[in-house]
């Protein structure tokens, strides 16, 4: 098996046996980037020498007989919204085009401690606002399965890097589906952990009550391994929860007995592509054959999730992005008449159209006379959405649904229709609003060979249950082995 086609577990076994070195593995993926990324455009920054130097450090540890970290020299691609000292962190925006962080995000510190090799920075929708990676200020990432289609977003670069065989593992961030949605469209595994499971220190904020960093991999075990490496409490993040981190990589292979899977009737309505629905229902049949009980549930307030999200998230974005004023850091206009003019010109030049749209939506929702009617009401409905899940999880262990209502759409197809673009996250948004963990696993291909994902949701801090449930399905199928 080729290096780029192997799973993380297979690579680690070969590294531990001495069949491969980290330099060889890293070189193979760097060569794949050089050969393929000209078409796919998944990466914004790759420092070959730096990556190989990191790999050599891990190889030297092995030669000396020292214990290596959990990731043992595996390359990891990083979404360009996570700060890494000495490397650009542009958020795919002109506003931060020249920004180089002077510190590491908590997850980067954890990756280095786990002996990961940071292979490159991946493209994204600007400031993580989008569902297609078309909102990047620098390039449009393409889906490795069909170069005329989007990889999803906002973590489209990370998903495309894994799907395209250019990295075995990658990090993304998920505010309303930005890990699970591109994972589903690119045929890889993507996990959004529980809010608070992973520190947001060093994650450039979009919507602070929703953002969460998570893993991409080409199988469930790889995602479990990466989450285990980066999860845990961080006192620098007040929302980071001090809950023990299970050994996901050791328990992922254990099936669950007496599994109860919930199916929300609200998830199977008009607008759901027929091939997507068929694949999801076939996945449920696989679980039935394994002895799982399939039970219909109701999430009555889920119909309000998109509306609630597009009030709460833009409101928080309006506040978070106010710091980009052309004074302390970030883009500053070259021509202006006074300070107010400098603010206006810098922000007008630095932000793209989708970011401006969401700032205006949020500012309006928070403005005097509208705060109670929009933002406060959205928070109340958000609570009702969480209550629906709490009630459902008294009856079932996990909830299954589609990840996306359709397979990957064509580049340019929805870019001028913001509402249609927003609806592509209709199945993923509610997990962020409720703070739940969710995973997307490959569950089929359309007749035209476009990936279809299955989403599984669980109660807070039950990532271990999700991994074990997802692995049960993966063991019975070979969809995760399919490559573009």
Could you give the CA distance from residue 165 to residue 369 in angstroms, rounded to a whole number?
A: 51
* DSSP β-ladder status, 189-192 and 213-217: antiparallel
Q: Among the options 79, 136, 430, 440, which is catalytic?
A: 79
CA–chain centroid gap for 104, Å, is: 19
Annotation says 2 is catalytic: no
Annotation says 178 is catalytic: yes
CA 155, 435, 312 angle in degrees (round to 5)?
A: 75
Q: Under a CB-based contact definition with an 8 Å cutoff, are residues 459 and 440 in contact?
A: no
Q: Which residues contact 158 (CB under 8 A, 6 or more apart)?
A: 42, 77, 78, 79, 122, 124, 170, 171, 172, 179, 182, 216
Closest CA to 195 of 43, 25, 382, 367: 382
Q: Among the options 8, 178, 199, 240, which is catalytic?
A: 178
Q: Report CA dihedral (347, 411, 218, 58) to the nearest 10 degrees.
A: -40
CA 131, 116, 107 angle in degrees (round to 5)?
A: 55
Question: Phi and psi (nearest 5°) for 25?
Answer: -65, -45
Q: Among the options 136, 154, 315, 346, which is catalytic?
A: 154
The tokens for 362 are: 């949020």
Annotation says 289 is catalytic: no
* Residue in the block written with tokens 């969401």: 358
Active site residues: 79, 154, 178
């Amino acid at each position: 098996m080729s290096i780029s086609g192997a799973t993380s577990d297979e690579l680690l076994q070969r590294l531990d046996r001495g069949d491969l070195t980290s330099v060889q593995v890293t070189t193979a993926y760097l060569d794949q980037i050089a050969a393929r990324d000209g078409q796919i455009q998944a990466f914004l920054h790759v420092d070959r020498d730096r990556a190989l130097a990191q790999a050599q450090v891990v190889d030297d540890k092995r030669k000396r007989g020292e214990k290596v970290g959990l990731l043992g020299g595996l390359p990891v691609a990083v979404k360009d919204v996570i700060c890494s000292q000495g490397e650009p962190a542009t958020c795919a925006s002109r506003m931060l085009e020249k920004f180089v962080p002077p510190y590491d995000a908590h997850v980067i510190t954890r990756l280095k401690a786990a002996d990961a090799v940071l292979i490159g920075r991946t493209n994204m929708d600007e400031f993580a606002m989008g569902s297609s990676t078309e909102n990047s200020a620098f390039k449009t990432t393409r889906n490795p399965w069909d170069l005329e289609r989007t990889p999803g977003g906002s973590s489209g670069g990370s998903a495309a890097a894994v799907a395209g065989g250019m990295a075995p593992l990658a990090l993304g961030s998920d505010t309303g589906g930005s890990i699970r949605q591109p994972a589903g469209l690119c045929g890889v595994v993507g996990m959004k952990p529980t809010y608070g499971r992973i520190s947001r220190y060093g994650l450039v904020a979009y919507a602070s009550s929703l953002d969460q960093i998570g893993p991409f991999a080409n199988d469930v075990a790889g995602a479990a391994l990466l989450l285990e490496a980066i999860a845990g409490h961080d006192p620098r993040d007040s929302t980071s929860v001090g809950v023990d981190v299970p050994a996901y990589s050791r328990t992922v292979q254990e099936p669950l007995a007496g599994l109860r899977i919930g199916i929300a009737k609200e998830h199977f309505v008009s607008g759901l592509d027929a091939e997507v629905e068929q694949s999801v229902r076939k996945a449920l049949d696989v679980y039935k054959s394994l002895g799982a009980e399939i039970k219909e549930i109701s999430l009555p307030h889920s119909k309000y999730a998109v509306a609630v999200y597009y009030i709460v998230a833009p409101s928080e974005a309006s506040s978070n992005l106010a710091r980009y004023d052309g004074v302390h850091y970030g883009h500053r206009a070259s021509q202006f008449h006074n300070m107010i003019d400098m603010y206006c010109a810098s922000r007008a030049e630095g932000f793209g159209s989708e970011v401006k749209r969401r700032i205006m939506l949020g500012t309006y929702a928070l403005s005097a006379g509208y705060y109670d009617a929009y933002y406060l009401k959205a928070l109340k409905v958000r609570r009702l959405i969480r209550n629906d899940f709490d009630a459902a999880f008294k009856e079932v262990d996990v909830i299954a649904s589609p990840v996306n209502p359709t397979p990957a759409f064509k580049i340019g197809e929805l870019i001028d229709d913001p509402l249609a673009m927003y609806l592509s996250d209709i199945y993923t948004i509610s997990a962020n609003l409720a703070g739940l963990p969710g995973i997307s696993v490959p569950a089929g291909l359309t007749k035209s060979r476009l990936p279809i994902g299955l989403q599984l949701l669980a109660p807070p801090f039950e990532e271990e249950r999700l991994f074990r449930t997802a692995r049960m399905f993966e063991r019975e199928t070979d969809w995760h082995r399919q490559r573009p």
